[in-house]
């Protein structure tokens, strides 16, 4: 017989053996589940409904529509800020514009510091062992310290971004101006952007670089690739791949019901007199003929992007990567295209702030994808979601929410947000003066002369509230977006909605104070 001491020893050995065996199984399970590859696709100025999946089949986007059919389509996604530079930085860092202060005009006209860049999703994934890539339009500047103005004459991409991206093929706004690539010894990558190449447009070059990244990907390493298409911005022949224009050149593109021919008398006066979108509409989209010309060219560019999305999916299948890859498709901001008598973006009507958002996760079962999702999503959610998908802890600096549990249908939706915050800090007059030494004085003069149309607001499932907070007196707009999705009937002076108005005023201020919180 064993003594009690011997029995205790045997029990301890057995317990340790079980614990070791259990830990071994956990480790093997962990090893058997590799980190996902993540591809973040962003277009430039692509209005949310300019594709088939969002109800406009005349735009002919079969590959994006197929990706959407296999993924999750978000019907209530919104930009925290709807103009390219700050929007891109918001999605990169997971921080609101008022927080990161990277934008075009004073007083929020700073570059992105190396310290802040080090907390962006590509930097965090790079540090965690991911191979990282960036292709396309950068649209913002990284410097050692945050400096002004935000658009310096030189970028120094390799010096300031080389530690984060292993693969890079990008420029500020156009791939024929100031374009930089690395690795420097990648001859095929350099040839993609070689001057004088025939039958090559900017979107095709972006797509070829995207394929090059996948082809050079090591099998034993996860990757995170950010692709920022130059399309669908601009409409000159050099910006449009003309062979694709043939199918659209005589197409009749349906105008939205809030498209305005000529001037729109109901816009707030401060907007009518100062916003860039008003005079751009007069020049570009204020007649049926202008509208058709522009939208046909935007549709062409969207089709060319769509073709690259198709090539990407086929390449991932060929490489047996698709089942472990997450593809996120969105844009940097919307565009009015004549809605509300405006052409530009920035302002907080839905044509500007509503985002296309499609997420395909090859790891998920079909029952959890292949659906539409109505949860309110903000562009500030992109960075924390990507970080979380990579299995990393989301840093406190990120102000958005991780939407991965919404994707997987494991989120308690009773605890999900019922409101998103958005802001517009852009003034056209200040943009024209952005390199002057006295920009803060000029900014103050605009405010004192009631020419500022900076705004902030909130969007719920039913309501949109906007306040032009630097105007005296403040100008407000309130819309019931369920009954009035085109935002034509401003209810702010209707006494029936006083309680709603007061609630949304308070919510806007509350969310603005949260946005200001510099917990980074």
Q: Do residues 459 and 395 both lie within one domain?
A: no
Out of 417, 448, 463, a domain closes at 417
Q: Do residues 188 and 302 both lie within one domain?
A: yes
Which CATH number goes with the domain that contains 460?
3.30.1120
Q: Is residue 434 part of a domain?
A: yes
Which CATH number goes with the domain that contains 46?
3.40.720.10
| Stretch 471-498: mean pLDDT | 98
> DSSP string covering 279-336, please?
HHHHHHTSSHHHHHHHHHHHHHHHHHHHHHHHHHHHHHHHTT-GGGEEEEEEES----
> DSSP string covering 492-505, please?
TT-GGGHHHHHHHH
- The predicted pLDDT at position 28 comes to 47
Half-sphere exposure of 301 (CA within 13 A, CB side): 26
Residue 471's domain spans which residues? 421-516
* Residue 186 to residue 189: CA distance in whole angstroms: 5
Q: Is residue 30 part of a domain?
A: no
Q: What angle do CA 400, 405, 410 make, to 5 degrees?
A: 145
- The predicted pLDDT at position 96 comes to 98
Q: Are 404 and 385 in contact (CB under 8 A)?
A: yes
Q: Do residues 397 and 490 both lie within one domain?
A: no
State both tokens at 160.
Answer: 């300031």
> DSSP string covering 455-486, please?
EEEEE-SSEEEEEETTSSS-EEEEEETTT-TT
pLDDT band at 518; cut points 50, 70, 90: low
- The predicted pLDDT at position 346 comes to 98
**In the chain, % of residues over pLDDT 90:** 89
State both tokens at 11.
Answer: 């029990």
Give 3-state DSSP helix, strand, coil % of the chain, rounded to 5.
Answer: 40, 15, 45
Q: Is residue 296 part of a domain?
A: yes
Burial of 296 (0-12, 13-18, 19+ CB in 10 A): buried
CA 384 to chain centre: 13
Q: Do residues 210 and 313 both lie within one domain?
A: yes
For tokens 């935002």, what's the residue? 487
- The predicted pLDDT at position 198 comes to 82
- The predicted pLDDT at position 197 comes to 86
* Residue 98 to residue 425: CA distance in whole angstroms: 8
Higher pLDDT, 419 or 7: 419
For residue 404, pLDDT beyond 80: yes
The backbone region for 485, taken as left when phi is positive above 0, alpha when psi lies in -120 to 50, beta otherwise, is alpha
Instruction: Please state the domain count of the chain.
Output: 2
Task: Dump pLDDT digits (tens) for 68-125.
Answer: 999 999 999 999 999 999 999 999 999 999 999 999 999 999 999 999 999 999 999 9
Q: Is residue 9 part of a domain?
A: no
């Amino acid at each position: 017989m064993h003594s009690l001491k011997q029995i205790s020893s045997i029990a301890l050995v057995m317990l340790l053996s079980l614990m070791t065996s259990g830990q071994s199984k956990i480790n093997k399970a962990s090893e058997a589940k590799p980190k996902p590859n993540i591809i973040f696709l962003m277009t430039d100025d692509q209005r949310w409904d300019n594709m088939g999946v969002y109800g406009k089949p005349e735009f002919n986007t079969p590959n994006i529509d197929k990706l959407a059919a296999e993924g999750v389509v978000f019907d209530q996604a919104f930009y925290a800020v709807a103009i390219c530079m700050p929007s891109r930085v918001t999605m990169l860092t997971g921080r609101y514009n008022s927080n990161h202060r990277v934008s075009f005009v004073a007083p929020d006209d700073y570059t992105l510091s190396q310290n802040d860049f080090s907390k962006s999703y590509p930097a965090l994934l790079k540090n965690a062992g991911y191979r990282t890539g960036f292709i396309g339009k950068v649209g913002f500047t990284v410097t050692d310290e945050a400096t002004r103005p935000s658009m310096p004459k030189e970028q120094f991409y390799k010096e300031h971004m080389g530690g984060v991206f292993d693969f890079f093929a990008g420029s500020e706004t156009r791939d024929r101006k100031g374009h930089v690539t690395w690795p420097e010894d990648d001859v095929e990558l350099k040839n993609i952007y070689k001057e004088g190449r025939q039958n090559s447009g900017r979107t095709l070059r972006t797509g070829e670089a995207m394929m090059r990244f996948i082809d050079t990907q090591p099998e034993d390493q996860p990757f995170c690739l950010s692709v920022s298409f130059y399309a669908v911005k601009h409409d000159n022949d050099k910006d449009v791949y003309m062979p694709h224009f043939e199918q659209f050149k005589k197409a009749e593109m349906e105008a939205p019901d809030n498209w305005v021919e000529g001037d729109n008398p109901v816009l707030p006066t401060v907007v009518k007199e100062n916003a860039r979108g008003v005079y751009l509409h007069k020049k570009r989209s204020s007649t049926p003929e202008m509208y058709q010309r522009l939208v046909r060219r935007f549709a062409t560019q969207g089709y060319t992007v769509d073709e690259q999305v198709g090539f990407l999916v086929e390449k991932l299948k060929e490489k047996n990567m698709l089942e472990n890859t997450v593809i996120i498709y969105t844009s940097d901001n919307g565009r009015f295209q004549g809605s509300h008598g405006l052409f530009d973006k920035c302002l907080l009507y839905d044509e500007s702030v509503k985002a296309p958002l499609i997420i395909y996760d090859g790891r998920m079962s079909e029952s959890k994808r292949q659906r539409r999702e109505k949860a309110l999503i903000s562009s500030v959610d992109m960075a924390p979601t990507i970080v979380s998908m990579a299995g990393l802890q989301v840093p406190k600096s990120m102000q958005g929410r991780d939407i991965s549990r919404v994707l997987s249908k494991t989120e308690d939706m009773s605890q999900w947000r019922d409101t998103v915050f958005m802001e517009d800090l852009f003034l056209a007059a200040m943009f024209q003066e952005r390199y002057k030494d006295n920009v803060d004085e000029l900014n103050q003069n605009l405010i004192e002369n009631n020419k500022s149309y900076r705004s902030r607001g909130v969007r719920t499932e039913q309501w949109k509230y906007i306040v032009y907070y630097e105007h005296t007196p403040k100008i407000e707009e309130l819309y019931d977006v369920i009954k009035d999705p085109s935002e034509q009937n401003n209810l702010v002076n209707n006494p029936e909605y006083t309680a709603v108005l007061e609630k949304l005023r308070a919510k806007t201020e509350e969310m603005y104070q949260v946005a200001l919180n510099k917990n980074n």
